[in-house]
Amino acid sequence: EAQVTQNPRYLITVTGKKLTVTCSQNMNHEYMSWYRQDPGLGLRQIYYSMNVEVTDKGDVPEGYKVSRKEKRNFPLILESPSPNQTSLYFCASSSPGGRGNEQFFGPGTRLTVL
């Protein structure tokens, strides 16, 4: 089954404790992105990647890091989480051309930073 998976789905942590949210896709997509979703603000792009070892900042990259060492994986790293990073996070992947760049989203990771 074609899918994007994220882990963990739920996470409660404390300020300053480094964490990683994993994202993996099995569709051989070139493009991957991370978003955060907050009430009233909609989804905002954090980082995106055009291919292996090619990443770029989205609209809200501060406090986040990403890496793209393999095509299928695109982990999101919070080196020193803060309470304002409490949010719902989505990973997405897409391939050039298909349905005008349709993005396939993972199920989301709900993060709470205390």
In angstroms, the CA 98 to CA 112 distance is 35
Q: Name the residues that contact another protein, by CB under 8 A.
A: 31, 33, 35, 40-45, 48, 50, 56, 58-59, 90, 94, 99-103, 105-108
Q: How far is the CB of 90 from another protein (least distance, A)?
A: 6
Q: How far is the CB of 98 from another protein (least distance, A)?
A: 10
In angstroms, the CA 90 to CA 26 distance is 16
Q: How far is the CB of 83 from another protein (least distance, A)?
A: 21
Residue (15 or 26) nearer to another protein, CB: 26
Residue (79 or 102) nearer to another protein, CB: 102
Residue (85 or 103) nearer to another protein, CB: 103
Residue (14 or 50) nearer to another protein, CB: 50
Peptide bond into 8 cis (omega under 30): yes
CA 97 centroid distance within chain: 22
